[in-house]
Amino acid sequence: MNSRDPNESIPDDRWYEIDQNCSREELLAVSKVYAREVIDRFDLSVDVSTLEWSISMRAKRRAGAVKYSGSVPKEVILTWEYFENCGWEKVAETIRHELIHIHLLNEKGDSSHGPDFKRWAAKLDTEVNCVRFSEPKWWVTCSSCSNRYARYRRSKLVNRPSEFQCGKCGGRLAVVENQDDPDTGDSS
């Protein structure tokens, strides 16, 4: 691995930019090349060639993920809908995020979003948590404190909200179908 200049910045995402008309294979190819550049610039303990890379066509709440076998990183998963809705720059940010998880697991046995992760996230200019990029099908709302939980798939909570209580205040929950959900054809 290369020794990193402390003043080194992240690679220019625009150099690798790919548009939403590309194929999944093209997105994965560019993602791996970009990941190698980030790894080299920041001397991360990650080997792109030992990882599988894939695209999720179903994910609605996460932009990316790392799958592990025990404590060994095995696969980086990127979300197609995130790419379609947010573009390459945000996917590049997600790649940096997932590389931090792998690096910290390899170096410290910790893949959490703890203090080490936050320091690396600042250094690699990436978010700690994913922003919502897809409209949920339902909102579970609390009648007492107006807390809202986004739900993308049917679950016990969506089907039987009376059996649950708000995690913030203990209030009663109700389910409201999202009127902005593109799958319903409705909008407000």
pLDDT digits (tens, 9 = 90+) for 64-110: 999 988 889 999 999 998 899 889 999 999 999 999 999 999 999 88
- Residue 170 has a CB neighbour count (10 Å cut-off) of 10
Q: Are residues 105 and 155 in the same domain?
A: no
User: Structure pTM?
Assistant: 0.69
Q: Are residues 69 and 142 in the same domain?
A: no
Is residue 28 domain-resident? yes
Task: Output the DSSP codes for the chain.
Answer: -PPPPTT-----HHHH---TTS-HHHHHHHHHHHHHHHHHHHT-S--GGGSEEEEESS-SS-SEEEEEETTEEEEEEEEHHHHHHH-HHHHHHHHHHHHHHHHHHHHHS--SSSHHHHHHHHHTT--SSPPP-S--SEEEEETTT--EEEE-S--HHHH-GGG-B-TTT--BEEEEE-TT-TTTT---
pLDDT value of position 4 = 38
Q: Which CATH number characterizes residue 103's domain?
A: 3.30.2010.10
Q: Are residues 40 and 84 in the same domain?
A: yes
Q: Are residues 17 and 94 in the same domain?
A: yes
Is residue 131 domain-resident? no
Total number of domains in the chain: 2
pLDDT value of position 154 = 80
Sheet holding 138-142, edge to edge: 148-151, 138-142, 173-177
Give the span between the Cα atoms of 87 and 72, in whole angstroms. Answer: 29
Q: Are residues 74 and 149 in the same domain?
A: no
Is residue 26 domain-resident? yes
Q: Are residues 55 and 93 in the same domain?
A: yes
Give the span between the Cα atoms of 171 and 144, in whole angstroms. Answer: 5
pLDDT interval class at 134 (50, 70, 90) = low
pLDDT in tens, 31-63: 999 999 999 999 999 999 999 999 999 777 788
Is residue 5 domain-resident? no
pLDDT in tens, 141-168: 898 988 888 777 788 988 888 899 888 8
Pick from 64, 46, 57, 36: which is nearest to 126 by CA?
64
pLDDT value of position 1 = 36
Distances (CA, A) of 100 to 84, 88, 93, 137, 177: 23, 18, 11, 31, 36
Range of the domain at 167: 138-177
pLDDT value of position 130 = 63
